[in-house]
Amino acid sequence: MRSIGEMARDSGLGVSALRFYDRAGVLVPAWVDPVSGYRWYDPGQLDEARLLARLRRAGMPLADIRLVLAGWSSADTDLVRGLLQAHLRRLELGLADARSEFSALRTLLDHRETPMTAAPRTATVRMSVSAPELAAALDSVRFATGGDPELPMLGGVLFDAEGDALHLVATDRYRLAVARTGTAGHGGPRVQVIVPVPLADAMRALLSGDEPVALTVDGDRVALEAGDRQAAGQCLAYDFPDYRRLVQLPSGRRALVDVPAFRRALETGPVRAGGAHEKDGPSHEISVLRVTDDGTVTVCEDGDDDRNHVAVNREFLLDALAAGDRDRLILECGTSTAPLAVRRTDDETAFSLLMPVRLDD
């Protein structure tokens, strides 16, 4: 007999996925220990598990997978071939529809008067910023920067100065982080620059003191001066998404969490296999959260499913809790399809949004 850990290792499904498919009646273990509940599999089930993993990676619905596995075990090749062909045809039709819509969108983009890249900046803008506040703002958003070469505008931190406020923003599409700090000496119209990640990290290294630092935007260059030290370089020549639209969320249920205790619950609690985010691959782990109306948040056990629960990438949530840098934070969620917000109790201008993960059907 093979243990569930061995089956997960050799099939590529993951322990949580195997538990899910057991509950769904798709891949039932040969024997379950009546005392411990531990699952054991017959050696012949490994091929079936590998087949299941392939079908899920191909995006086949669970209802069809059941039929494929049934046909496979009974050598009903006509059924299996028919189901595979039908699914492939659905994928091809979906791809054709997507190509048509994308072609139309590209045409619309070609006709837009707004250029794809930011207009050249000519004015020099100089402002003074508190070093501790700027350091805290960078620490709050750095974890959410993107690394997709197809989306270079997300490979940096947006510095958005307007009036006496400076917002720092980062996103990789799956999470978004925003922080705010005050400025002095600017007080003018809105100025936005995208500071590439290496330069943002170099700036953060300068922010060890308590004295104000000088932030200068000169054309397509940005510089941070701390005493006699400086970090300077080119801005990214792209426009950043309008993050102000992205943070307009309907109010949801709120929970005040004790961060150390909640971290332990996430790290030791049940997880499920996920793969809806292509950047994370098929093996990232998700936690399913239940936030009640009375402000209680719990990590759901396997089998505790509800459409009002929200599933998130566990690693992303742990990163957001660390970036929040408080012993108590507020979790806010609406429906299972709405982003999960992680907010500070003392400053709600600094927060993170995590996109929900679609659970396996």
The CATH number of residue 256's host domain is: 3.10.150.10
Per-residue pLDDT, 120:
52
Per-residue pLDDT, 54:
92
pLDDT tens readout for residues 190-248: 899 999 999 999 999 999 989 999 999 998 899 999 999 999 999 998 888 888 888 87
* C-alpha pair distances (Å), 296 with each of 241, 286, 305: 34, 19, 17
Separation between Cα atoms, residue 61 and residue 48, nearest integer Å: 16
Per-residue pLDDT, 279:
42
Per-residue pLDDT, 118:
45
Per-residue pLDDT, 77:
84
Task: Write out the two tokens for 61.
Answer: 């619905």
In a domain, 101, yes or no: no
Give how many domains the chain has, as a whole number: 3
**Domain co-membership, 348 together with 277:** yes
Per-residue pLDDT, 302:
58
- Whether pTM > 0.85 for this model: the answer is no
Q: Which domain holds residue 161?
A: 124-244
Per-residue pLDDT, 140:
95
Domain boundary among 213, 244, 275: 244
**Domain co-membership, 179 together with 207:** yes
Domain boundary among 244, 267, 288: 244
Per-residue pLDDT, 305:
58
Residue 317: Cβ-neighbour burial (10 angstroms; 0-12, 13-18, 19+): buried
In a domain, 113, yes or no: no
The list of the chain residues with pLDDT below 50 reads 115-119, 276-282, 361
**Domain co-membership, 224 together with 313:** no
